[in-house]
Structure 1
Amino acid sequence: MITIAEIAKMAGVAKSTVSRYLNDGSVSPVTKLKIERVIQKTEYVPNSFAQSLKAKVTNLVGVVVPRLDSYAASKTMIGIDQQLRELNLKMVVANSGLSVEREIENIYSLAKQKVAGLIVLPTVITKAHLEAFYKIDIPVLIVGQKHENLYCLVHPDEQAAFELGKYVISKGHKKIAFLGVAERDVAAGFKRKEGFKKAVGKENDIHIRFYETTFDTEDARNAAKNIISDFAPSIIVCATDNIALGAMKAAYDNGIKVPTDLSITGFGGYSISEYMSPGLTTVKFHYQLAGQMAAQNIHHLINHKEIKKCTTLKFEIFKRESVDKIK
């Protein structure tokens, strides 16, 4: 690869002049033309990361995700990357592996790399998060969780779960199992559960039990097997589509037909939900759009433009074949 020193030699200028040009510094029109001609001739591609470490204003945006195998996180990152590219910004991703401690470390680590702004997809917001955001002193946007002191972009988990609950009731289901995740994940674990509770809370003759599993499909499969044998509900409402996939496999393992013998719903609107057999009834969240909006918002914050403190996205309920009407 050609170096800055070689570019400088070919252009007949100092190495510092080439560096200043690459970092949008002050260079005379004649010198600028010389450098541009050499760059075009050699097809030189600057090292954006190295440049950003030396520059006062970087073109890097840090993105902290809870896990890389999450459909929601991956789709959100695709949206972020697409929009950042259009804004001439680059994405630097740090994976926390569902560890809060590692998430805090990633926040500090990205700040040390002089990112211009930070997009974080946390499962929870702790005092350590707030302290880190205060100390790094760069624009921060939270996606998926809400906090009154932070700029955020959220999905309407509670409202969506409420609407899904009303739909389940309208189909005549009276014996309902809700298979969720730990409430420390405020959006997926707490708000979805609370929204569903509110939907069924005032209804008569409804027997509902709440269960907990992890985001892992195999764990969900085992949890659903126990629910089927111990409770035998007419429907299992799952906190994510991956959990619903595990529940469907548990039904199949037990010779139970979906939806004739057991209805199942998901949450999230993952691509796979449309191609399951039967098709999965689910709440559709627009994760890729969320990523695009997050990139636009962090760009505004970097450039000291005013944005809404919290933006709430829309949702849809895809009513497919996995939910039967109780006669």
Structure 2
Amino acid sequence: MKTIADIARLSGVAKSTVSRYLNGGSVGELTKKKIERVIKETGYIPNTFAQSLKAKKPNIIGTIVPRLDSYATSQTLIGIDEQLRELNYQMLISNTSQDLDREIENIYTMARQKVAGIILLATQITDTHIEAFQQLQIPILLVGQQHQAVYSLIHNDFEAGYDIGKYVIAKGHRKIAYLGVTEQDIAVGVNRKKGFTKAIQEAGDCEVKYYETSFKMAEAIKRVPDIIDKFNPSILVCATDNIALGALKAAHLKGINVPDHLSITGFGGYEVTEIIHPSLTTVQFFYKEAGQVAAQSMVKLINSEELSPIILSKYKIIERESVDNLLSGKL
């Protein structure tokens, strides 16, 4: 395995010259061709991370995620990675497994590794997070959550919640169960619910009950039968597609036909929601595109370019088979 010292010796130049070349510094044209020829002949692959640590301007972007087994996370990471590569940056990923203490630890660890900036796919922002951001003094971008002290790229959860509320009302549903998550998650647990609630309040004449579950499909499967037995809603509005998928499974296990006897909606737009039967009506968020915008925004922050404190990503309602139109037979 070749080193910079080997490349320098074979090229007949100083090690510092090879290092300067690899880091994009000024090197004479003849010397540049010698180094390039040796690199090609030897198949030498530079250690990008080591280069970033030594360079005055590092090109590694730290990306911290709460979980890896998530469609939203994986699509966002793909978007970040693809865009960073185009911009000649590299991504370093750290997973916290939804452990807040580990998340804070990873923020400091990445800063010690001299990353150029950190993209944080956050589930909540605490005072400890803000303290860390202020101490580190490197560019930070939140994705999925919002805080006034940090640049944030958010999904427009409030408007999305409002629009799905208007949608189910337009379909004639008046006995509605909303299945959400903990309000510690401001985006999913608070903003989606607030938007939905506003639409319901504007409509009036609705019987709505709010329930809480986790992000796990298995918990929704356990939770939904009790909701059906005790409240018997015409529709379940679920705060995520995973919850909606759990609700679909629970309805199937109880022998309830969807959408004839129970309608279900979700949020997310996961690929699986299109191929299941019945296919799921949902609010689609464009996670990959959001990742691309996050990467572009982070590079702007690194280069001290102007950036809006809050960036909104797109969404749209995807109408499929899981929602019954209760007004279709009425004139």
Q: Place the TM-score, normalised by the shorter chain, in its bin.
A: over 0.9
1:226 maps to 2:233: no
Identify the residue that residue 319 of structure 1 maps to in structure 2. Answer: 319
Q: Tell me the amino acid that sits aligned with residue 57 of structure 1.
A: K
Counting only pairs closer than 5 Å after superposition, residues 293-308 of structure 1 correspond to structure 2 as 293-308=293-308
Looking at structure 1, the residues matched to 250 and 122 of structure 2 have their Cα atoms a distance apart, in angstroms, of 30
Looking at structure 2, the residues matched to 48 and 303 of structure 1 have their Cα atoms a distance apart, in angstroms, of 20
Q: Tell me the amino acid that sits aligned with residue 5 of structure 2.
A: A
Looking at structure 2, the residues matched to 51 and 176 of structure 1 have their Cα atoms a distance apart, in angstroms, of 57
For residues 209-237 of structure 1, the C-alpha deviation after alignment (integer angstroms, 9 at most, x for no partner) is 11111111001111112211221111110
Equivalent pairs counted in the alignment come to 327
Residue 56 of structure 1: SS of its match in structure 2? coil
Go from structure 1 to structure 2 and tell me whether the alpha carbon gap of 1:33 and 1:229 turns closer, same or farther (over 3 Å shift): same
Identify the residue that residue 161 of structure 1 maps to in structure 2. Answer: 161
Q: Tell me the amino acid that sits aligned with residue 58 of structure 1.
A: P
Identify the residue that residue 72 of structure 2 maps to in structure 1. Answer: 72
Q: In the TM superposition, what is the alpha-carbon distance from 1:26 to its structure 2 partner? A: 4.2
Looking at structure 2, the residues matched to 266 and 35 of structure 1 have their Cα atoms a distance apart, in angstroms, of 55
1:107 maps to 2:107: yes
1:284 maps to 2:284: yes
Q: Tell me the amino acid that sits aligned with residue 189 of structure 2.
A: G
Q: In the TM superposition, what is the alpha-carbon distance from 1:33 to its structure 2 partner? A: 3.0
Residue 292 of structure 2: SS of its match in structure 1? helix
Q: Tell me the amino acid that sits aligned with residue 244 of structure 2.
A: A
The gaps in structure 1 that reach 5 residues or longer are none
Looking at structure 1, the residues matched to 325 and 58 of structure 2 have their Cα atoms a distance apart, in angstroms, of 56
The gaps in structure 2 that reach 5 residues or longer are none
1:142 maps to 2:151: no
Looking at structure 2, the residues matched to 205 and 134 of structure 1 have their Cα atoms a distance apart, in angstroms, of 48
Residue 172 of structure 1: SS of its match in structure 2? coil
Counting only pairs closer than 5 Å after superposition, residues 124-273 of structure 1 correspond to structure 2 as 124-273=124-273
Residue 267 of structure 2: SS of its match in structure 1? coil
For residues 76-104 of structure 1, the C-alpha deviation after alignment (integer angstroms, 9 at most, x for no partner) is 11100110010011110111111221111
Looking at structure 2, the residues matched to 258 and 97 of structure 1 have their Cα atoms a distance apart, in angstroms, of 34
Looking at structure 2, the residues matched to 180 and 153 of structure 1 have their Cα atoms a distance apart, in angstroms, of 22
Looking at structure 1, the residues matched to 119 and 40 of structure 2 have their Cα atoms a distance apart, in angstroms, of 34
Looking at structure 2, the residues matched to 12 and 202 of structure 1 have their Cα atoms a distance apart, in angstroms, of 77
Q: In the TM superposition, what is the alpha-carbon distance from 1:176 to its structure 2 partner? A: 0.8
Looking at structure 1, the residues matched to 294 and 189 of structure 2 have their Cα atoms a distance apart, in angstroms, of 22
Residue 114 of structure 1: SS of its match in structure 2? coil
Looking at structure 2, the residues matched to 277 and 38 of structure 1 have their Cα atoms a distance apart, in angstroms, of 58
Looking at structure 2, the residues matched to 127 and 271 of structure 1 have their Cα atoms a distance apart, in angstroms, of 36
Residue 88 of structure 1: SS of its match in structure 2? coil
Identify the residue that residue 93 of structure 1 maps to in structure 2. Answer: 93
Q: In the TM superposition, what is the alpha-carbon distance from 1:203 to its structure 2 partner? A: 3.4
Looking at structure 2, the residues matched to 28 and 324 of structure 1 have their Cα atoms a distance apart, in angstroms, of 71
Q: In the TM superposition, what is the alpha-carbon distance from 1:24 to its structure 2 partner? A: 2.8
Looking at structure 2, the residues matched to 27 and 101 of structure 1 have their Cα atoms a distance apart, in angstroms, of 45
Residue 317 of structure 2: SS of its match in structure 1? strand
For residues 274-325 of structure 1, the C-alpha deviation after alignment (integer angstroms, 9 at most, x for no partner) is 1121111100111111000010011111111111111112211111110002
When structure 1 is superposed on structure 2, of 20-29 and 240-249 the one drifting more is 20-29
Looking at structure 2, the residues matched to 189 and 161 of structure 1 have their Cα atoms a distance apart, in angstroms, of 11
For residues 133-182 of structure 1, the C-alpha deviation after alignment (integer angstroms, 9 at most, x for no partner) is 11111111111111222111111101111110111111111211101110
RMSD: 1.3
When structure 1 is superposed on structure 2, of 145-154 and 183-192 the one drifting more is 145-154
Q: In the TM superposition, what is the alpha-carbon distance from 1:239 to its structure 2 partner? A: 0.4
Go from structure 1 to structure 2 and tell me whether the alpha carbon gap of 1:204 and 1:32 turns closer, same or farther (over 3 Å shift): closer
Residue 39 of structure 1: SS of its match in structure 2? helix
1:37 maps to 2:37: yes
For residues 116-136 of structure 1, the C-alpha deviation after alignment (integer angstroms, 9 at most, x for no partner) is 111111111111111111111
Looking at structure 2, the residues matched to 76 and 32 of structure 1 have their Cα atoms a distance apart, in angstroms, of 37
For residues 18-40 of structure 1, the C-alpha deviation after alignment (integer angstroms, 9 at most, x for no partner) is 22322233444443332222112
Q: Tell me the amino acid that sits aligned with residue 268 of structure 1.
A: G
Looking at structure 2, the residues matched to 245 and 62 of structure 1 have their Cα atoms a distance apart, in angstroms, of 32
Q: In the TM superposition, what is the alpha-carbon distance from 1:11 to its structure 2 partner? A: 1.4
Identify the residue that residue 60 of structure 1 maps to in structure 2. Answer: 60
Residue 46 of structure 1: SS of its match in structure 2? coil
